[in-house]
Amino acid sequence: MESFSAILIEAIGLILSWDPDVIEIIMLSLRVTLTAVAAACLIGLPLGAIVGAFRFPMRTGVIVAMNTLMGLPPVVVGLLVYLMLSASGPMGVLGLLYTPTAMIIAQTILVTPIVAALTRQVIEDLNGEYAEQFASLGVGPLDRVLALLWDARYSLLTVALAGFGRAVAEVGAVIIVGGNINHVTRVMTTTIALETSKGNLELALALGLILLVIAVIVNGLLMAIRGTAARAAYV
Amino acid sequence: MSEALTNISAHSAVTSAPLLSARGLCFDAGGQRLIDGIDLDIAPGRCTVIMGANGSGKSLLLRLLHGLIEPTDGAVSWCGQPLDRAARREQAMVFQRPVMLRRSVAANLRFALSVRGVRGAKRKAQEEETIARARMDALKDKPARVLSGGEQQRLAMARAMIGAPRMLFLDEPTASLDPASILAIEQLIQEARDNGTTIVLVTHDPGQARRLGDDLFFLHGGRIAETGPIMQVLEKPTSKAAQAWLSGRLFVPNTP
């Protein structure tokens, strides 16, 4: 077995060579992850905001359910989505199994509870600060939710980032519903798993490094945005 | 029980039909009665001052009168009708700690206008007019939460006065402010009065009460200990609680 440094050098060479296969895998990973995070935000942000801003019967039960779903095992989600999309499943007719769309669906299911639960906490805290002022101004329910979401925008970026982190690093669900098919559903995490099992450590490490770089870039951007927001006392 | 704790039905200052009335108003929390059977009438166009020691229930009474919290017992009426959300839209409140949205000064005002259904060019015009009236032209693009305490309170006043509310509740709006900021706030209060807004002001400052007020309710232990024209109560208080508070002594009920 080659030394770690030798593998690392080969991995870096692979990245710098802009190998078309590697680029394809990275782009598919980003497409699947970003689409899933966007879908999860579309569902989770308003859901979390409504639960955070209003009192209603069974609210505690809803919060417990949301918090519990944050820890959904990816392989279980993968299996459920597989059963739904397989030929004998209720959505089998759509022919989505082993497509990037199936991977997006699975990741959206995984990330939505995270976005919703964290949004609920952020919005509940902010609503505690704004509630009397909103009541005094006569702010209606829709205006209240929209205002809370807007004013919590910088904190919610962190929420979206938590969702992104979960999605981009996820392997269990996407390998079940995507099948890790070359040039079709192969993403960074599934490739790392496959290539490691094959002993092709250079490619696995190269993709691992790229995953880390993506995480650093996203976190750096977020810190910069939050820093600007903090100077304006918007967080 | 001392005479100071005797609940006084307070209708002395009202000469016309009251804009807002409370009858038998009570509020309990944590097994304690914090507001205890308050009756009062507030006439239109007046500036009613509520004074009393810390914990006497002034801020709580203000919130009950504005409908922000539900009374345990009793009721508040607005123009003779039960206080509802539509009635509350004719009122506004400025809190002791101003709540600033995480937006610019102008955006804070825009939000209050939008909530009241003012849109487009009309909203822009009213926004600029309000900024000018609050003398905040140079600050309009600044984030509201980085303003000084006095500037934030001025913005809160300006935001509350949007839509020309018929009644303005002010909960110690000048607490912890410097003299210049107090003057600016008092000018805004006076402007609101001049425009016909009825003011209900909680303050600890007898000087401010004299400058702005017409009538005074002195609260003690969740009850109205004394009420009357402001100069009368401040200069010749009849209740032990008001006498003790105004002379700077701590009044403890049941003390021999």
Q: Which tens digits make up the pLDDT trace of A15-73?
A: 888 888 889 999 999 999 999 999 999 999 999 999 999 999 999 999 999 999 999 99
What pLDDT is attached to residue B4? Answer: 39
What pLDDT is attached to residue B231? Answer: 95
Q: Return the residue matching tokens 């539900």.
A: B70
Yes or no: say if B239 and B4 are a contact pair by the CB < 8 Å rule: yes
Chain B residues touching residue A135 (CB < 8 angstroms): 67-68, 88
- pTM score: 0.87
Contact state of B88 with A138 under an 8 Å Cβ cutoff: yes
Over residues A83-94, the pLDDT tens digits come to: 999 999 999 999
- β-pairing, B81-82 vs B91-94, is unpaired
Yes or no: say if A203 and A195 are a contact pair by the CB < 8 Å rule: yes
Yes or no: say if A209 and A11 are a contact pair by the CB < 8 Å rule: yes
Give the nearest partner residue to B68 out of A130, A132, A150, using CB atoms. Answer: A132
Yes or no: say if A178 and A100 are a contact pair by the CB < 8 Å rule: yes
- Confidence band (pLDDT; 50, 70, 90) for A2? low
What pLDDT is attached to residue A234? Answer: 81
What pLDDT is attached to residue B252? Answer: 62
| Domains defined for chain B, CATH in brackets | 39-99+149-154+165-251 (3.40.50.300)
**pLDDT at B241 > cutoff 50:** yes
**pLDDT at A156 > cutoff 70:** yes
Within a 13 Å sphere around the CA of B155, how many CA atoms are in the beta-carbon half? 32
Our CA-based measurement puts residue B188 at a distance from the nearest CA of chain A, in whole angstroms, of 19
**pLDDT at B22 > cutoff 90:** yes
B69, B89, B101: best to mutate for the A interface, most A CBs within 10 A: B101
- β-pairing, B167-171 vs B32-42, is unpaired
Who wins on pLDDT, A179 or B252? Answer: A179
Our CA-based measurement puts residue B67 at a distance from the nearest CA of chain A, in whole angstroms, of 8
Whole-angstrom Cα Rg for chain A: 21
What pLDDT is attached to residue B14? Answer: 47
Q: How far is CA A202 from CA A30, A87, A168, B165, B241, in A?
A: 21, 37, 20, 71, 84
Beta bridge partners of B202: B50, B171
**pLDDT at A126 > cutoff 50:** yes
Q: Using CB atoms and an 8 Å cut-off, which of residues 107-136 of chain A contact chain B?
A: 129-130, 132-133, 135-136
* Mean of pLDDT over chain B: 90
Q: How far is CA B246 from CA A13, A92, B236, B250, in A?
A: 83, 81, 10, 10
Our CA-based measurement puts residue A219 at a distance from the nearest CA of chain B, in whole angstroms, of 23
Token digits of residue A33: 């992850």
- Confidence band (pLDDT; 50, 70, 90) for A196? very high
Residue count of chain B:
256
**pLDDT at B255 > cutoff 60:** no
Assess if CATH 1.10.3720.10 describes domain A4-231: yes
What pLDDT is attached to residue B142? Answer: 96
What pLDDT is attached to residue A154? Answer: 92
What pLDDT is attached to residue B108? Answer: 97
- β-pairing, B167-171 vs B73-78, is unpaired
Yes or no: say if B89 and A138 are a contact pair by the CB < 8 Å rule: yes
Q: In this structure, which amino acid lies at residue B127?
A: E
**Planar angle of CA A182, A188, A193, nearest 5 degrees:** 80
What pLDDT is attached to residue B253? Answer: 59
Strand order in the sheet with B81-82: B32-42, B20-29, B73-78, B81-82
- Confidence band (pLDDT; 50, 70, 90) for B184? very high
What pLDDT is attached to residue B251? Answer: 64
Contact state of A135 with B114 under an 8 Å Cβ cutoff: no
Token digits of residue A48: 């979390």
Within a 13 Å sphere around the CA of B107, how many CA atoms are in the beta-carbon half? 14
ipTM (interface pTM): 0.86
* Mean of pLDDT over chain A: 93
Percentage with pLDDT > 70 across chain B: 91
Q: What is the domain partition of chain A in residue ranges? A: 4-231
**pLDDT at B249 > cutoff 80:** no
Chain B residues touching residue A132 (CB < 8 angstroms): 63, 68, 93, 95, 99
B181-194: average pLDDT = 94
Who wins on pLDDT, B107 or B254? Answer: B107
Yes or no: say if B212 and B224 are a contact pair by the CB < 8 Å rule: no
DSSP category for residue B239: S
What pLDDT is attached to residue A18? Answer: 85
Over residues B63-110, the pLDDT tens digits come to: 999 999 999 999 999 999 999 888 888 999 999 999 999 999 999 999
Q: Return the residue matching tokens 């009850």.
A: B223
Yes or no: say if B14 and B43 are a contact pair by the CB < 8 Å rule: yes
What pLDDT is attached to residue A167? Answer: 95
